[in-house]
Amino acid sequence: MAKSTKAERKALEAIDEAAAAAKQAKKVAKGLPGKPAKKLRELAADAIEVGDVSKKKLRNKPGKVTKAAERAEQRVRKATRAAIVKAENKARLRAEAERAAAEAERAAAEAAARKEETKTLKKAAAKAERAAAKAEKESREADRKLDEALAPQDESPATDDDASVLAELEAPPSEVADTAAVEQEEATPDVAMPAVAEAEIAPIADAGPTAVVSTGRRAPRTPKAAPAEDLSALTVAQLRGRARAAGVAGYSRLTKAELVALLS
């Protein structure tokens, strides 16, 4: 058996390298999309076809076979590297797109949560504002009622009768009695006595014990006292009217019993 030359061995090594590159290209093509995978598989097939040479050609033209195998290997490896880089870039871009989509989804979820939280806070703020207004109104109402409860009662303006009553209460007992006597005298009507001329009154000094004086007219008769009226049968208004007519002071504050006692 003839020994192979150095050129033949080099050609065989080039063919093996081309076959290895073609095998790697087919493996990478499985992960690529349709068109890039098809192109890479075609280059791998060319590299394998270059290595399919006859022994005669290998023995006669080893340099030519070596160059063809090296060119095929370079084309396959270059295309494989480009496909790998492209696939890596595509995967990186896909991952970045997925991360961006996830980030956008998370941001949208956070925005929706913030929107819902803002809506809830607005409702809570409006509710708190209404509660504060109601509490303020109730507080003002409570203050008003407290002021009304603590304020002194309105007193009616003092009248002349009230002043008279106060004067009577503050006056000494003697003055009160004198005032009552004067008022009683003013209330009692005077009884007119008929005047008797001095000329008609005869002296009785010398007439003796049995002398009868004749004046020519009848002596005046003493008026009879009017029967006492039952004042207790009158109403308070009627008693006050009589007290007013009689000039009694302070009658407006007296009870019925006191008015009856005063007018009796």
Confidence of residue 126 (pLDDT cuts 50, 70, 90): very high
Confidence of residue 152 (pLDDT cuts 50, 70, 90): low
Nearest to 19 by CA among 72, 81, 80, 83: 72
Max CA-CA distance within the chain? 226
Residue 133, pLDDT > 50, answer yes
pLDDT at 176: 44
pLDDT at 231: 85
Residue 9, pLDDT > 70, answer yes
pLDDT at 216: 47
Q: Is residue 200 classed as helix, strand or coil in its secondary structure?
A: helix
Q: How many CB atoms lie within 10 A of CB 249?
A: 17
Q: Which two tokens mark 88?
A: 């890596």
For residues 234-259, average pLDDT: 88
For residues 230-240, average pLDDT: 88
Residue 222, pLDDT > 50, answer no
Helix residue ranges per DSSP H, 171-222: 173-187
For residues 123-136, average pLDDT: 90
Torsion of CA 19, 25, 26, 28, to 10 degrees: 150
pTM of the full predicted structure? 0.39
Residue 229, pLDDT > 80, answer no
Mean pLDDT taken over the chain: 75
pLDDT tens profile 205-215:
444 444 444 44
Q: Note the Cα 56 to chain centre separation in Å.
A: 105
Residue 95, pLDDT > 50, answer yes
